C-alpha cells in the first residue's frame, strides 16, 4: 500500500517539479503536491494545508531557496526542508543547512532524494511524538494544578451557593472554556435547576434536554455544534451568544447523580477522551464538595430539630414533674400527719397501711425528682451552688424522711458522729446523692440491713459517705455500666424491683459536679457498698 506524502515544491521549473514527483512515486509514495515560485504563493500554500516536506530549488528568478527557508521558519511549522538544486555549491549548502535546512541534493544525483526524505520523515515523526509527549506532560501538569486550585477553593466552605459560585469562577480562570453552568437535581420539582453559571444566563434551559440526558444516563455527553444540534429546543440561544460546542458531565457522589456540570466553547471543539476524563474527575471533586454542603445543611437542620424537640421535651418533663410533685407532696404530708397521730390516734393495722402509703409516695416523689434532675442535667441547666452546709443537720433531716415502717424485713441504720463539721458544698446535690444511694439499697435489699455512714476525714479535708446493704448484689459483668442512664442490672431485675434506672446516673453526675468520686464493691447474693468521697472546700 502506497504511503501518502504531501509535498510543497518551491521550484520555478514545472518540468523539474514533475521529475521530483515521478521519482517519489517510483519509490512508492502516493504524492499530493503543489508547486510555488514566489513568497506570496508559498505563504498561501503553508496556510492552506499541512505539508509533510518542503523541497526547494536554491536559485529562482522571482524567489530564492534561502527566502523560502526563512518563510518556513517564520511560520513556526516543523516541516523538513530539503534543497534540491543544480546551482548550489557545497559551501553555500552547508551554510543553508546551518540556517535550518535538513539536507541538500544536487539535481544530477536524485538517487539520494528518497533516502533523505525517508530519514527526514522519520526524524520529523520522532520530533512530533516528542513534542506531543511534552505537550501532554505540560497539559497534565496544568490540569492537575487547576484541579488542585479548584479543589482548595470549593472545599474552603460548606455553603452550597458559595461552593457553586467558586467552582464556576475557578473554571473560568484556570481552564480554556468560554462558559460553565452547574445544575443540581431538585427532588421536589423533579428537575434540574441551574444554581450557578459563568458567562451564560443562569436561568437558561436551552440545553436542558442535553443536561437531562447526562443526568439520566450518568455519562458525559458532547455536542460539537450546539447551533444546529437537533436535540436542542432553542439553538438560536447559542447562536446569539456565539457558543458552538458543549460537554456535560454528571456530578456523581456514591454512584448517585446530583446534577450536571456543563462546559461551552465559542469555537468548534471535539473533547478528547483524556479531556473528558479530566473534566469528569473535576466533576467528581465538585460533587463531593456539593454533597458535603448538603450533608452539613442536613446536620444543621437535624440539630435545630433536635434542639426544638429537646426544648419541648424539657418543658414537658419540667411541667409534668412540677405538676406531679404537688399532689405527691400533699399525699406525703397528710400521710405523715396521720402516721404521727396529728389528726388522732391510729391502730397498728392503720399504721402499717400508712407506712406503705408513705413508702410509695416517697418512692414516687424520688422518681419524679430524678426525672426532673436528669432533664436538667442533659440540658446542662444544673450548676453546683456551694454554700456552708451543717452536715449533722442535713443527715438528721434526711433520716426523718425515712422514719416510717418499711414493708420488708429490713432495718435502716444510721452511723455518723454528732460533731460533724460545717462544710462548703452544694447541700441539695449532696442530699440527692445520699437519698438515691439509700433508695437504691432499700429497693434491692429484701432482708437484713442498710447502713448509712458518714465520716469527716481531717487529713484530706473530705467527707466520706458509705451506703452498705445486704441485698442481692451486682454481678461483675454489670459493675462497669451501673452508672449509665436508664441502666439497672438486667431486665429481670427491673421487672422484679421496679425503678427507671436514673438514681445511680444522678449520683455519678452530681458527685462529679461536686468534685468528688464514687466507688462500688459488690458480691452477688451478699450485698453492695457504695462509697462517695466529697471535698469539703474552705
51 in the same domain as 155: no
100 in the same domain as 225: no
Annotate 288-306 with b (16+ C-beta within 10 A) or e (fewer): bbbbbbeeeeeeeeeeeee
Q: Is residue 501 part of a domain?
A: yes
Residue 352 or residue 129, greater confidence: 129
Query: What's the average model confidence in pLDDT over 421-441?
Result: 91
Cα radius of gyration (the chain): 47
Residue 446 or residue 338, greater confidence: 446
> Percentage of the chain with pLDDT > 90?
28
294 in the same domain as 150: yes
Last residue of a domain, one of 130, 155, 172: 130
User: In this structure, what C-alpha cell is assigned to residue 198?
Assistant: 459563568
Report the pLDDT value the prediction gives residue 538, as an integer from 0 to 100. 64
At residue 511, does pLDDT exceed 90? yes
188 in the same domain as 233: yes
Q: Is residue 206 part of a domain?
A: yes
Report the pLDDT value the prediction gives residue 203, as an integer from 0 to 100. 57
User: In this structure, what C-alpha cell is assigned to residue 324?
Assistant: 406531679
Last residue of a domain, one of 130, 163, 189: 130
186 in the same domain as 75: no
Q: Is residue 373 part of a domain?
A: no
Q: Is residue 483 part of a domain?
A: yes
Residue 370 or residue 211, greater confidence: 211
415 in the same domain as 279: no
150 in the same domain as 101: no
Residue with cell 457553586: 164
Q: What is the pLDDT of residues 318-331, one digit of tens each?
A: 676 667 767 777 77
Report the pLDDT value the prediction gives residue 318, as an integer from 0 to 100. 66
Query: What's the average model confidence in pLDDT over 229-256?
Result: 88
Q: What is the rounded CA–CA span in Å between residue 223 and residue 249?
A: 12
Mean residue pLDDT across the chain: 83
At residue 415, does pLDDT exceed 90? yes
Report the pLDDT value the prediction gives residue 334, as an integer from 0 to 100. 76
Report the pLDDT value the prediction gives residue 93, as an integer from 0 to 100. 66
- Terminal alpha carbon distance of the chain: 107
481 in the same domain as 411: yes
Annotate 434-459 with b (16+ C-beta within 10 A) or e (fewer): bbbbbbbbbbbbeeebbbbebebeee
Q: Is residue 135 part of a domain?
A: no
Report the pLDDT value the prediction gives residue 491, as an integer from 0 to 100. 45
Report the pLDDT value the prediction gives residue 200, as an integer from 0 to 100. 82
Domain containing residue 105: CATH number: 3.40.50.2300
531 in the same domain as 403: yes
CA distances from 390 to 387, 394, 453 (A): 10, 6, 16
146 in the same domain as 293: yes
What total of structural domains would you count in the chain?
3
Query: What's the average model confidence in pLDDT over 277-284?
Result: 89
| Sequence-separated (6 or more) residues with CB below 8 Å from residue 436 | 366, 370, 503, 504, 506, 507
Grouping H, G, I as helix, E, B as strand and the rest as coil, residue 194 is strand
Question: Considering only CA atoms, which of 249, 234, 241 is closest in space to residue 182?
Answer: 249
Task: Identify the weakest region by mean pLDDT among 126-135, 214-223, 374-383, 409-418.
Answer: 374-383
Report the pLDDT value the prediction gives residue 492, as an integer from 0 to 100. 47
Name the band, by pLDDT with cuts 50, 70 and 90, for residue 202: low
Residue with cell 555549491: 89
Report the pLDDT value the prediction gives residue 144, as an integer from 0 to 100. 80
Q: What is the pLDDT of residues 477-507, one digit of tens each?
A: 888 888 887 665 544 444 445 456 688 888 9
Question: Considering only CA atoms, which of 252, 273, 269 is closest in space to residue 261?
Answer: 252
Neighbour tally for 164: CB within 10 Å: 25
Task: Identify the weakest region by mean pLDDT among 201-210, 295-304, 460-469, 524-533.
Answer: 201-210
124 in the same domain as 159: no
Q: Is residue 318 part of a domain?
A: no
531 in the same domain as 387: yes
Q: Is residue 374 part of a domain?
A: no
Report the pLDDT value the prediction gives residue 501, as an integer from 0 to 100. 67
Last residue of a domain, one of 77, 107, 130: 130
Residue with cell 439553538: 235
Domain containing residue 493: CATH number: 3.30.565.10
Query: Phi-psi region for residue 499, left (φ > 0), alpha (ψ -120 to 50) or beta?
Result: left
Q: Is residue 485 part of a domain?
A: yes
Domain containing residue 202: CATH number: 3.30.450.40
> Percentage of the chain with pLDDT > 70?
89
Range of the structural domain that residue 406 is part of: 383-535
Amino acid at each position: 500500500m502506497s504511503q501518502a506524502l504531501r509535498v510543497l515544491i518551491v521550484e520555478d521549473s514545472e518540468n523539474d517539479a514533475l521529475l521530483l514527483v515521478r521519482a517519489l512515486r517510483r519509490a512508492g509514495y502516493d504524492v499530493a503536491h503543489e508547486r510555488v515560485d514566489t513568497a506570496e504563493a508559498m505563504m498561501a500554500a503553508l496556510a492552506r494545508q499541512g505539508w509533510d516536506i518542503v523541497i526547494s530549488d536554491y536559485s529562482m528568478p522571482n524567489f530564492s531557496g534561502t527566502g523560502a527557508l526563512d518563510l518556513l521558519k517564520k511560520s513556526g511549522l516543523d516541516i523538513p526542508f530539503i534543497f534540491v538544486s543544480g546551482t548550489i555549491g557545497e559551501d553555500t549548502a552547508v551554510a543553508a543547512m546551518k540556517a535550518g535546512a535538513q539536507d541538500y541534493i544536487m539535481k544530477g544525483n536524485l538517487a539520494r532524494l528518497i533516502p533523505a526524505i525517508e530519514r527526514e520523515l522519520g526524524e520529523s515523526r520522532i520530533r512530533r511524538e516528542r513534542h506531543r509527549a511534552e505537550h501532554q506532560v505540560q497539559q497534565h501538569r496544568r490540569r492537575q494544578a487547576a484541579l488542585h486550585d479548584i479543589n482548595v477553593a470549593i472545599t474552603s466552605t460548606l455553603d452550597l451557593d458559595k461552593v457553586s459560585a467558586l467552582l464556576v469562577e475557578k473554571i473560568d480562570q484556570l481552564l480554556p472554556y468560554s462558559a460553565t453552568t452547574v445544575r443540581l437535581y431538585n427532588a421536589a420539582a423533579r428537575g434540574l435547576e441551574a444554581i450557578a453559571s459563568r458567562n451564560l444566563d443562569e436561568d437558561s434551559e436551552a440545553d436542558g434536554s442535553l443536561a437531562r440526558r447526562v443526568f439520566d444516563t450518568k455519562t458525559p455527553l458532547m455536542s460539537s455544534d450546539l447551533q444546529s444540534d437537533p436535540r436542542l429546543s432553542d439553538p438560536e440561544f447559542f447562536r446569539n451568544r456565539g457558543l458552538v460546542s458543549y460537554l456535560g458531565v454528571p456530578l456523581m457522589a456514591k454512584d448517585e447523580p446530583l446534577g450536571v456540570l456543563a462546559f461551552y466553547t465559542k469555537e468548534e471543539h471535539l473533547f478528547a477522551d483524556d479531556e473528558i476524563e479530566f473534566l469528569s474527575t473535576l466533576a467528581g471533586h465538585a460533587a463531593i464538595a456539593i454533597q458535603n454542603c448538603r450533608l452539613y445543611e442536613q446536620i444543621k437542620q437535624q440539630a435545630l430539630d433536635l434542639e426544638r424537640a429537646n426544648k419541648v421535651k424539657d418543658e414537658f418533663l419540667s411541667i409534668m414533674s412540677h405538676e406531679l410533685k404537688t399532689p405527691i407532696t400533699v399525699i406525703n404530708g397528710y400521710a405523715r400527719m396521720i402516721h404521727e397521730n396529728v389528726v388522732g390516734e391510729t391502730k397498728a393495722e392503720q399504721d402499717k397501711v400508712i407506712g406503705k402509703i408513705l413508702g410509695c409516695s416517697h418512692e414516687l416523689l424520688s422518681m419524679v425528682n430524678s426525672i426532673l434532675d436528669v432533664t436538667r442535667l442533659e440540658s446542662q441547666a444544673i450548676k453546683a451552688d456551694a454554700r456552708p452546709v451543717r452536715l449533722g443537720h442535713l443527715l438528721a433531716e434526711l433520716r426523718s424522711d425515712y422514719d416510717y415502717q418499711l414493708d420488708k424485713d429490713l432495718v435502716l441504720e444510721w452511723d455518723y458522729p454528732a460533731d460533724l463539721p460545717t462544710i462548703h458544698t452544694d447541700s441539695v446535690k449532696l442530699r440527692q446523692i445520699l437519698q438515691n444511694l439509700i433508695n437504691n439499697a432499700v429497693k434491692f435489699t429484701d432482708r437484713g440491713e442498710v447502713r448509712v455512714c458518714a465520716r469527716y476525714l481531717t487529713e484530706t479535708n473530705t467527707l466520706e459517705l458509705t451506703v452498705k446493704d445486704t441485698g442481692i448484689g451486682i454481678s461483675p459483668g454489670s459493675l462497669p455500666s451501673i452508672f449509665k442512664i436508664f441502666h439497672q442490672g438486667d431486665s429481670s431485675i427491673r421487672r422484679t424491683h421496679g425503678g427507671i434506672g436514673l438514681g445511680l446516673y444522678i449520683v455519678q453526675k452530681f458527685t462529679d459536679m461536686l468534685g468528688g468520686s464514687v466507688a462500688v464493691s459488690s458480691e452477688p447474693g451478699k450485698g453492695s457498698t457504695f462509697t462517695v468521697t466529697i471535698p469539703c472546700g474552705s
